[in-house]
Amino acid sequence: MIVADKKPIEEIIEQVKDHERILILGCNECVTVCEAGGKKEVGVLASSLRMYFMNQGQKKSIDERTLERQCDHEYLEEIRDSVDNYDAVVSIACGVGVQFMAEKYHKLPVYPGVNTCFMGVTEKRGLWSERCQGCGQCILATTGGICPVSRCAKRILNGPCGGSTRGKCELRRETDCAWQLIVDRLKALDRLDDYEKLAPLKDWSTDRAGGPRRVVREDVQE
């Protein structure tokens, strides 16, 4: 899922301080799972902001709403009737949701309430880690299911580099060396001979480098 992290409240205060009627808009999917932007977080943020502004002697109206998702038209349409009640929205969905809000409600200021970080897994509650960077050309078949693009700090395709130490990356001791993981996995799959196959130069044109991407499926379009 998409993993995000709450922005410091000071940043959000700075964004909304000149608005009077604010909507805190959450999302019931990814950001709920990583406990950054779901219904609970909406409540906490709204309450904190109300108290902050009350303490400043400012009366602001801060409403709370959580949509199923903020990346599909149907769900964002649900607030069509009430958007005129607000002069700003703090969306604590991922960056996708914030942007879609901006697109659909062209004249309504929308501010991000979380920092969107990566596509990853829940290792355990309170610990999420990156697994995929959406390079657009998945090579997991050759690396035993472990991605060197997202899990190697240097995205080396013929790794490891000389800095791999006891299975950890030279960058941070908590980070596993992706290539150690790949070697271990190839061993477990009895495919260690694959290690010597030279991975070809990657086509990054399907990655960020190729510009904003689209997936088009004419067979399902109306």
Please list the residues that pair with 67 across neighbouring strands: 27
Which residue, among 80, 61, 65, has the nearest Cα to 26 in the 3D structure? 65
Separation between Cα atoms, residue 170 and residue 153, nearest integer Å:
9
Residue 33 binds to another protein (criterion: CB under 8 A):
no
Separation between Cα atoms, residue 147 and residue 168, nearest integer Å:
15
Q: Which of 162, 212, 216, 220 binds another protein (CB under 8 A)?
A: 162
Residue 141 binds to another protein (criterion: CB under 8 A):
no
Applying CB under 8 A, the span of 24-32, 96-104, 127-135, 165-173 interacting with another protein comes to 165-173
Binding mask 81-110 for another protein (x = CB under 8 A): ------------------------------
Residue length of the chain = 222
Binding mask 37-66 for another protein (x = CB under 8 A): ---x--xx--xxxxxx-xxxx---------
Separation between Cα atoms, residue 18 and residue 38, nearest integer Å:
25
CA 221 to each of CA 75, 118, 179: distance values in angstroms, whole numbers, following the listed order: 19, 29, 41
Binding-site size, another protein (CB under 8 A): 45
Which residue, among 101, 119, 97, 110, has the nearest Cα to 34 in the 3D structure? 119
What DSSP state is assigned to residue 181? H
Residue 205 binds to another protein (criterion: CB under 8 A):
no
Q: Which of 115, 142, 156, 176 binds another protein (CB under 8 A)?
A: 156
Residue 166 binds to another protein (criterion: CB under 8 A):
yes
Give contact residues for another protein (rule: CB under 8 A): 8-10, 40, 43-44, 47-52, 54-57, 153-167, 170-171, 177, 180, 183, 192, 195-196, 198-202, 204
